[in-house]
Amino acid sequence: MPPLNQVPSSAPKPVAPKPVTPKPPKGAAKEQTAEGSAPKKEKKSLASKEIEIFGPKKIKMPEKELIKFYRGMASMLRSQINTGDALKYYAHGMTNRPVADKVIGIQEAITAGVPIHEAFRKSELFDDTTIGLVQAGTESGQLDQAFTAVAHRIKTAHEFKVKVRKAIAVPLVVISLLIFAFIMSQVKIVPQVEEMLMQVAQEPDAFTGLIFKMSHFTQEWWSTIVIAIVIAVVAIVFSEGLRTIITNIAMSKWRLLRNLIMGLRQMTFLGTMHMLHSNGINLAKAIQTAASSVKGTPMHDELKEAANKYQETGLPVSEAFKKFTSCDPQVSHMLFIGERAASIDTQLKMLSEMYEEDTRAYMEDFTAALNLVVLIVAVILIATVFIGTFLPIFLMGPKMMQGGNM
C-alpha cells in the first residue's frame, strides 16, 4: 500500500496555471507608437491653441470699421491705456461679433507675450502696410500716431473709392435702363405699328421703312448682343490683365482719365510711403511696403525695382524713381530736393498733399465730363425710342385713316 503522501502514477499531474497577461487598454498601442512623435503632437496643440485664440475662419474687417478701430485705438493710447486693455475695451463695444472675437484674440495673444505686430499679423485682419507701421510705432513708442496715420490713409482712400464708384455706377445704371427701354420699344411697340400699317394695306415712307428695318435688326440680334455685353463685363471684372489693357488704352486716348488714375496711384503710394518713413521705417523698406498699396497696377513692380536699385546699388532715391518708375517728373525732383536738404519727410508730405488736392480736382472734372457723356447718350436713346415708337404713327396716321375709310 503506497504511502498517503505519494501520488499514484495513474492520477493526472497538476498543471501550473498560465500567467494571465492583462490586456492593454484601448488606445495604449496608439500611445506607444506615438511616443516618438511627441514633438509633432505638441506642435499640433500649439496650432490648435492659435486657432482657438483667433478663430479658424479668415474674416475681413470693413473699411469703415477699420477707420473707427484705428481712431478708437489712437484715442485710448493717448489716454495712457495700454494696448491690451485698449483692445479689450474696444472689442466689448463692437457689434460685429466675429471681428470682435478676432480683436479679443489679439489682446489674448499680447497678454501671452506675443509681440504686438505679430499678434496683429496672426489675426489676418490687417494688411502688411498696417503691420509694418504697428511694428515701427511700437518700437518708437508712438503707436497712437501710427494708428492715426493709418486711419487718415484709409479714410482718404475710401472717400476716393466711393467717388469713383458713384461716378461710374450711376451712368452705367442710367444707360442700362435706357438701353432696356430702347430694346423693348424696338421689339414690342414698333412691330405693332408696322402690323397696323399692313392691316390697312399702306406702304411706309422711306424714313418709316428705315425705322422698321432697325426694328427687324434689333429683334434678330438683341439677345446675342446682350449676351456678348454680359460676357465682356464678366471678363473685365474677373480678368486683371484685360482690365489693365483696357485701362492703358483708355489712358492713352483720354488725358483727363490718365491724370485721374495716375493721381490716385501716386497719391496712394506717396501717402503710404510718408506715413511709414515718418514713423521710423527706413526709406527702402518704406518704398517696398508702399508698393503693396498699388498692387495690381504697373506701378507696383516699378516701385519694387526702384527700391531694390536704391538699396543694392546705392543709387539716389530720386534717380531710382526717375529711371525705373512712371511717376511724374515733379516726384523725382522733390525727392532730389529732400535728399539734398535732408528733408525727405517734408517733401513726401508735400507731395501727398499736393496729389490729394490735384486728384480731387481731376475727380470733379471727370465726373462732370462723364455726366455730359451720359446726358448725350440719354438724349440719343430717348430720341431713338420716341422716333421709333411715335413718329411712324404721326407720319402714317393720315394714310392709315385713308386706308380705313376705303
118-130 tens-digit pLDDT? 888 888 888 877 8
- Least-confidence region, from 205-209, 322-326, 375-379: 205-209
Alpha carbon distance 163, 135 (integer Å): 32
Helices (H), 79-142: 83-92, 97-111, 116-123, 128-140
Q: How many CA atoms lie within 13 A of 267 on its CB side?
A: 25
Please, which pLDDT band fits residue 184 given cuts at 50, 70 and 90?
confident
- Least-confidence region, from 60-74, 157-171, 328-342, 344-358: 157-171
Instruction: Give the H/E segment covering residue 204.
Output: none
Per-position b or e across 233-250, b if 16+ CB within 10 A of its CB: eeeeeeeeeeeeeebeee
What residues does each domain of the chain span?
63-155, 170-405
Total count of residues recorded for the chain? 406
Digit-coded pLDDT (tens) for 64-109: 888 889 899 989 988 889 888 999 999 888 888 888 888 899 999 9
Examine the pLDDT at 206 and tell me if it is beyond 70: yes
- Closest C-alpha among 130, 152, 137, 162 to residue 71: 152
Please, which pLDDT band fits residue 290 given cuts at 50, 70 and 90?
confident
Digit-coded pLDDT (tens) for 215-261: 889 888 988 988 998 999 898 888 878 888 888 888 888 899 899 88
Examine the pLDDT at 60 and tell me if it is beyond 80: no
- Burial class of residue 269 in the structure, from the number of CB atoms within 10 Å of its CB (0-12 exposed, 13-18 middle, 19+ buried): buried
pLDDT, residue 308, reads 92
**The three grid cell numbers given for residue 73, joined into one nine-digit string:** 485705438
pLDDT, residue 48, reads 46
Looking at residues 341-351, what average pLDDT do you find? Answer: 90
**The three grid cell numbers given for residue 170, joined into one nine-digit string:** 450711376
Could you tell me the fold of the domain covering 63-155?
Receptor-associated Protein (1.20.81)
Alpha carbon distance 364, 360 (integer Å): 6
Under 8 Å between Cβ of 272 and 129: yes
Q: How many CA atoms lie within 13 A of 225 on its CB side?
A: 9
Q: How many CA atoms lie within 13 A of 45 on its CB side?
A: 6
Under 8 Å between Cβ of 134 and 146: yes
pLDDT, residue 3, reads 47
**The three grid cell numbers given for residue 251, joined into one nine-digit string:** 489712358
What percent of the chain shows pLDDT beyond 70? Answer: 81
Mean pLDDT across the chain: 79
Please give the radius of gyration of the chain, using alpha carbons only, rounded to the nearest integer. Answer: 37
Please, which pLDDT band fits residue 58 given cuts at 50, 70 and 90?
low
- Burial class of residue 394 in the structure, from the number of CB atoms within 10 Å of its CB (0-12 exposed, 13-18 middle, 19+ buried): exposed
Cα torsion 396, 398, 404, 406 to 10°: value is: -120
